[in-house]
Amino acid sequence: MVRETLRIIGLNPGTRYLGLAIFCGSELRDWQVKNTEGKWSQDKMTKITSTLLSLIDSYGANVLAVKRINPSRSSPNLNKLATQIENLSKVRKLRIYHYSIDEIKRYFQQRSRKGLAEIIAAAYPVLYHELKKEQTNLNPYYIRMFEAVALGSMCLQEVERRKLRDERKDDIGYLIRN
């Protein structure tokens, strides 16, 4: 059975900053924080949508892993952005997974007292440079990127576990029938 390569975009949405991470299979290919300056407007929404579409097309993404918006830290504009991301995933026929920040932290910090950024940098050493910037920066700008990487990584592991479980069920069903 030929398995489709997962191409995941980890997305930490925000009306000012977007945390992004791109996974092709288990390889972290890109990570960044996009700054979308200015007041909220339709032009800003169009710019964010264009950025996401460009990444989806460039990497051939088939999955979005999106940070679930906390209602207590939400705004009408952030909710509009979340709806736009949902619509975009439907139009592009992308599977979409949502994770809260609490789910992400529980998943990665279950065996460690380290912060999320430190755990992610240990798993992806190429991010140590960004970790140093995060630790010395007064504005927690880079944490958005670390959360996006965590989203993509968690999603990748979850989808792979499901595939293996389903394949085992298929194998057992095959053996029972034959």
- At residue 140, the pLDDT reads 66
- Alpha-carbon gap, residue 71 to 101, rounded angstroms: 12
- At residue 112, the pLDDT reads 75
> What are the extents of the domains in the chain?
7-177
Residue 3 pLDDT > 90:
no
- At residue 169, the pLDDT reads 66
Rg of the chain over CA atoms, in angstroms?
Answer: 17
- At residue 41, the pLDDT reads 92
pLDDT digit string, tens, across residues 17-67: 999 999 999 999 999 999 988 899 999 999 999 999 999 999 999 999 999
Residue 176 pLDDT > 70:
no
The pLDDT of 64-87, averaged and rounded, is: 93
pLDDT digit string, tens, across residues 116-167: 989 999 999 999 888 887 777 756 678 899 999 999 999 999 998 888 887 7
Per DSSP bridges, beta strands 63-67 and 27-35 are unpaired
- At residue 83, the pLDDT reads 95
- Alpha-carbon gap, residue 31 to 10, rounded angstroms: 9
- Alpha-carbon gap, residue 41 to 160, rounded angstroms: 38
CA distances from 22 to 105, 146, 155 (A): 20, 12, 12
CA atoms within 13 A on the CB side of 122: 9
CA atoms within 13 A on the CB side of 162: 7
Q: 0.75 cut: is pTM over it?
A: yes
Task: Please say whether the structural domain 7-177 has been given the CATH code 3.40.50.2300.
Answer: no
List the one residue out of 59, 49, 42 whose CA is nearest residue 13: 49
The pLDDT of 12-18, averaged and rounded, is: 93
